[in-house]
Chain A
């Protein structure tokens, strides 16, 4: 089932074309690895897919809902971890997740239940009453993931979810993404190529706002002569 259909997205900031003619299609069970050098337009694309930025032209449909015409309903289907995992640092983990949960329309028992699941699944139970400001980078990122997942969204968009995590935390994060990917569609932006190999079913490489490669990851890995690393360097040069 198709979850997200973005067609011919364009976005420029002044004279700079951040995104030129990007189209993405996301289906249930798919994990798209969104790769590209710094400034390639990954974050701008993600900001458009989540409704934070409006595209100059092009269309985005979230489960057949036009994002520009009905942003409230379209946004409610998406869970989003923005770059740097921003959160309200003066709140406790629990109160922050409560806040996001309520904003996502969760109430009473369902909210309590989802909160409990998030704290348990993302290993936040022991820091649930701690002020976010006092947490380590790894925990802060996990809080970001928890707020993105609290309403059990069909679509998950994660902007560099493992950035700044230690190898153990990266491993845990990938395990988590894999475990929830069966009945969701996930888009991950990353710089780490082995992450794409480990969790992504499809790889999209962009540079200067344009899609350079859009292939099933297993098809890329079939090629014994070239790995993802060499392909990335070759096409983004």
Chain B
């Protein structure tokens, strides 16, 4: 999406493709934090 609008974002933001935001569980978000991520953005 960012590519099509030619927007730039820092390389420290890593996207993971999901089919629907309804799919995101708290356990997945906590796993990311637990593995060292500073935060989780759920966008869509």
> A and B from one assembly?
no
Q: Which residues of B contact A (CB under 8 A)?
A: none
Q: Which residues of A contact B (CB under 8 A)?
A: none
